Amino acid sequence: MTGAPLPADIVTLDDYERHAAALIDPASWAHIQQGNTAANRAALARWGLVPRMLRPLDSGSTGTMLFGQAHAAPILLAPVAYQRLAHAQGEIATAQAAAALDTALVASTLSSVGLKAIIQALHDAARELQRPAPPPAWFQLYVQPDPADTLALVRRAEAAGYGALVVTVDAAIKRAEFTLPPGVEAANLAGQAPPRHHTHAHSGQLVFGSALAAQAPTWDTLAWLRRETTLPLVVKGLLHPDDALRARDAGADGVIVSNHAGRVLDGVAPALMLLPAMHAALGADYPLLFDGGVRSGADVLKAMALGARAVLVGAPQYHALAVGGMAGVAHMLHILRTGFELAMAQCGCTSVDQITRDLVIAL
């Protein structure tokens, strides 16, 4: 649908989801919607904003800094796999939209377009738009069964110019994925041997003792990655404060509080419920990011008031891609950015540093 007008009735991210349901094939839609996003969204709905009035709003900025990199707003595009399930251009269209809205993106190991092509599309679009610089681009890493393959991905990301490495640690052991349709593949993993999933003979267990469990990353893996790269190292998928502290002590530069949209573990707690405890453990100066059900600018402000330095948005990328390609993703980001700025203004904030805990109340 690239080039076609966007539906006139789309004013929220929920509207994109509603339209996308009729545009993506049922098997792919079931995969995209897998998990328990409703619990994450319900957790956000259990907090209300507390406006502040009569403050001067004649100037202000949504800008923030993360790992020495300037961000126009504390909103990032989360790593989302196989975006060509939603649109033929996939991650290329998303990168172009990110450049148009000056929004950082995190490219997935399981992208359906290669990591070099994604960042090239981001830079090309920024240059065509005469931006002084492209927005930041980070690379999300799934640790591979063979350490040599993992290190090769890291080196490719470094060479391509990615500005941070996001290591996902909560998806090593999970349910089998669906079969990808023809023409969609994990472009970054082409040529790798498929992972082994069989269990050890006579172990009596289906998961413990399996090749899958044996290949799962550990704290030693994180320490190894810290030694192997000078990029900022961000750990995604932690929910327990003790794990966050251990990651920090192992050299992680930041943590993303995320439950993988409930796709990995049935019954996992909503990410927002753990955010305040993670913030209390790590302290205000440590970069803590949040990923879990954000669908509005008000949601962004709520997460920041509870301790996040920035938020990531995942599934809405699929929805907006399906509806409008690059234009859809750009419009989706515009909705979020505008809503966040309005929420800041209503709460009397002219900078993200002014977003404080007293601006939210449990309902």
Is there a domain that residue 8 lies in? Answer: no
The answer to the question of residue 127 being in a domain is: yes
pLDDT score for 138:
99
Give the CATH number of the domain where residue 245 resides. 3.20.20.70
SS3 readout for the chain = CCCCCCCCCCCCHHHHHHHHCCCCCHHHHHHHCCCCHHHHHHHHHCEEECCCCCCCCCCCCCCEEECCEEECCCEEECCCCCHHHCCCCCHHHHHHHHHHCCCEEEECCCCCCCHHHHHHHHHHHHHHCCCCCCCCEEEEECCCCCHHHHHHHHHHHHHHCCCCEEEECCCCCCCCCCCCCCCCCCHHHCCCCCCCCCCCCCCCCCCCCCHHHHCCCCHHHHHHHHHHCCCCEEEEEECCHHHHHHHHHCCCCEEEEECHHHCCCCCCCCHHHHHHHHHHHHCCCCCEEEECCCCCHHHHHHHHHCCCCEEEECHHHHHHHHHHHHHHHHHHHHHHHHHHHHHHHHCCCCCHHHCCHHHEEEC
Q: What is the pLDDT of residue 63?
A: 99
Domain that holds residue 345: 13-362
Domains held by the chain: number: 1
CB neighbour class for 128 (10 Å; exposed up to 12, middle 13-18, buried from 19): exposed
In this structure, is residue 265 part of a structural domain? Answer: yes
77 is a domain residue: yes
Residue 260 among the catalytic residues:
yes
Catalytically annotated residue among 87, 260, 319, 331: 260
- pLDDT score of 265: 85
Residue 266: its pLDDT value, please? 84
Answer yes or no: is 68 within a domain: yes
User: What pTM value is reported for the model?
Assistant: 0.94
Q: How far apart are CA 43 and CA 235, in angstroms?
A: 22
pLDDT by residue for the chain (363 residues), tens digit each? 346 799 999 999 999 999 999 999 999 999 999 887 899 999 999 999 999 999 999 999 999 999 999 999 999 999 999 999 999 999 999 999 999 999 999 999 999 999 999 999 999 999 999 999 999 999 999 999 999 999 999 999 999 999 999 999 997 645 556 799 999 999 999 988 766 554 454 555 544 444 455 678 999 999 999 999 999 999 999 999 999 999 999 999 999 999 998 888 889 999 999 999 999 999 999 999 999 999 999 999 999 999 999 999 999 999 999 999 999 999 999 999 999 999 999 999 999 999 999 999 999
Q: Which pLDDT value is given to residue 190? A: 94
106 in any annotated domain: yes
Distance CA 47, CA 359 (A): 10
Q: Please tell me the predicted confidence (pLDDT) of residue 173.
A: 46
- 5 lies in a domain? no
Q: So what's the pLDDT on residue 1? A: 38
